[in-house]
């Protein structure tokens, strides 16, 4: 995976080889914090790199060096984010081609629908 400028937003993460459908793309590690701390941090930054992994814990990827932290949202994603045993993992929903940006549907976010979606996908919901 390689992070580079994205047409969706800021940096994105791009496949460096073909990724077959259903294959685990990778996982991302970061700082484990409480959900209450995560929600406070989310109000302090425009670019939020936090995933709640349980009702009590969240992972903050802000300081992670893993390029997967730049996975952008799409209303028509090619991957999914899966939380397993407190880990944040990514799996291909379909075959992903070389140089294709890897995207996931963020679902419910800390933005609470206030952030304009820029994915450009057909059927884009407009906000995340």
The domain that holds 88 is classified in CATH as 2.170.270.10
Query: Any idea what the Cα angle at residue 110 is, between residues 19 and 62, rounded to 5°?
Result: 60
Rounded to an integer, the average pLDDT of 5-29 is: 95
Q: Which domain holds residue 67?
A: 2-104
When pLDDT is cut at 50, 70 and 90, the band that residue 46 belongs to is low
As a whole number of angstroms, the distance between CA 25 and CA 95 comes to 11
What's the total number of domains in the chain? 1
Q: Is there a domain that residue 9 lies in?
A: yes
Q: Is there a domain that residue 40 lies in?
A: yes
pLDDT of 3: 95
pLDDT of 110: 59
Within 10 angstroms of residue 75's Cβ, the number of other Cβ atoms is 17
Rounded to an integer, the average pLDDT of 10-20 is: 97
């Amino acid at each position: 995976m390689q992070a580079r400028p994205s047409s969706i937003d800021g940096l994105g993460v791009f496949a460096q080889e073909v990724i077959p459908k259903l294959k685990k793309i990778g996982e991302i590690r970061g700082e484990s914090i409480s959900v209450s701390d995560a929600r406070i941090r989310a109000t302090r930054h425009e670019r939020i790199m936090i995933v709640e992994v349980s009702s009590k814990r969240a992972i903050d990827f802000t300081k992670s060096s893993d390029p997967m932290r730049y996975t952008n949202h799409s209303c028509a994603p090619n991957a999914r984010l899966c939380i397993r045993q407190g880990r944040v993992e990514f799996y291909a929903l379909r075959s992903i081609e070389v140089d294709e940006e890897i995207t996931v549907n963020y679902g419910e976010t800390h933005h609470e629908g206030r952030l304009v979606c820029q994915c450009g996908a057909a059927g884009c919901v407009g906000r995340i």
